[in-house]
Structure 1
Amino acid sequence: MDMNLAQTLETLFAPVIEGLGLTLWGIETVGGDGQLVVRVFIEREGGVDVDDCAKTSRHLSLLLDVEDPVPGRYRLEVSSPGLERPFFRLDQVRPHVGGTVEVKLHTPTSADPARRNYKGVLLAVTDDSLKVEVDGEDYVLPWANVSKCRLRVTDWDAVKKGKQPR
């Protein structure tokens, strides 16, 4: 993801989204079929609905037309981060200690030079790292080296009964 573009979009979008009574959870940009996809994740206490996403999309589309920060063709997608939410900042991860996370690193760590992907239980979050247990082994993963991090639901039956994943 182009971090400069994501930061530019976050600066543009945050005030508009907050003005709608919502919170900007994060922005993801991915290329595909000669067109950039700009994914905007919004949240609110109690959750967001389709109307929130549609209204936010209309406002952001107008803003993008005026400011024109995205080079070339793009598609705007607005949604909630969902149950298996991506994390964009370390403070977003902290409430999910005890839950299952999937982490992809930019480069392997010295603890395991052949590994960039981890899926396990989130044991702790410090000011600059995650501690994840994978197959009985604990790994400390520096947040600066994390390219992607997402919550994974392991008990869908509990979710169906109304329990939120950690």
Structure 2
Amino acid sequence: MSSTIIESVREVAEPVGRAEGVNVVDIELAGTAGSLVLKIYIDKDGGVTVEDCARVSSQLGLVLEAEETIKNAYTLEVSSMGLTRKLKKPLDFQQSIGSLAMIKTRGAVIPGGKTLVTIDDANNDNVTVTIKDSGDKLTLSYSDIARANLEIEF
């Protein structure tokens, strides 16, 4: 059921985001019927400001209420993806070429299942990375990736 709500919210949120000059990157719905939290993550070239979040929250809140997209009471949170953002879609990986990331794979694709990599290339089918510790290059299908997020390099 939450995936249906998320898709309904996405249909409303993406046009609102475009109108405010941002991209809706991810949507999460957490909690229970009495305390739902709708989290909208946005991004734009040059980074997201507090003002961007406030504008999207205000406009999206009005539209969601008017269309009664979510029947139960909920809290709306709009924020940036942050410095260690999740990488979920091919576009996320494409926009992160050259960046450091932590990737956890399904099965035995990477020994230990989790490793620090640099993203070398990405297309709609797979991502090519260099394993930080060994320098080995590896091409992964997105279906091999259980979880990935950017990491901060010090």
TM-score, normalization by structure 1: 0.71
Q: Deviations over 1:117-146 (max 9, x none)?
A: 443222332322223325325444322354
Task: Indicate the residue corresponding to 2:63 in structure 1.
Answer: 63
AA partner of residue 25 (structure 2):
W
CA distance in structure 1 between the aligned counterparts of 2:22 and 2:95, rounded to whole angstroms: 19
Task: Indicate the residue corresponding to 2:109 in structure 1.
Answer: 111
From the superposition, tell whether residues 31 and 102 of structure 1 become closer, same or farther in structure 2 (CA, over 3 Å): farther
CA distance in structure 2 between the aligned counterparts of 1:70 and 1:144, rounded to whole angstroms: 31
CA distance in structure 2 between the aligned counterparts of 1:7 and 1:146, rounded to whole angstroms: 23
Task: Indicate the residue corresponding to 2:133 in structure 1.
Answer: 135
Q: Deviations over 1:135-165 (max 9, x none)?
A: 325444322354532211112xxxxxxxxxx
TM-score, normalization by structure 2: 0.76
User: What fraction of aligned residue pairs are identical, expressed as a percent?
Assistant: 26
Q: Deviations over 1:19-67 (max 9, x none)?
A: 1222222223333796332221222333332122112111111222122
From the superposition, tell whether residues 48 and 111 of structure 1 become closer, same or farther in structure 2 (CA, over 3 Å): closer
Q: Secondary structure at the match of 1:96?
A: coil
Whether 2:89 is the aligned partner of 1:51: answer: no
Contact 1:101 1:150 in 2 (8 A): yes
Task: Indicate the residue corresponding to 1:75 in structure 2.
Answer: 75
Contact 2:17 2:23 in 1 (8 A): yes
Task: Indicate the residue corresponding to 1:164 in structure 2.
Answer: none
- Paired residues, number: 152
Task: Indicate the residue corresponding to 1:86 in structure 2.
Answer: 86
Task: Indicate the residue corresponding to 1:153 in structure 2.
Answer: 152
Contact 2:119 2:127 in 1 (8 A): yes
Whether 2:117 is the aligned partner of 1:120: answer: yes
Structure 1: stretches of 5+ with no match in the other structure = 156-166
Instruction: List, as ranges, runs of 4+ consecutive aligned residues in structure 1 with deviation greater than 4 Å.
Output: none
From the superposition, tell whether residues 3 and 121 of structure 1 become closer, same or farther in structure 2 (CA, over 3 Å): farther
**RMSD of equivalent CA atoms:** 3.0
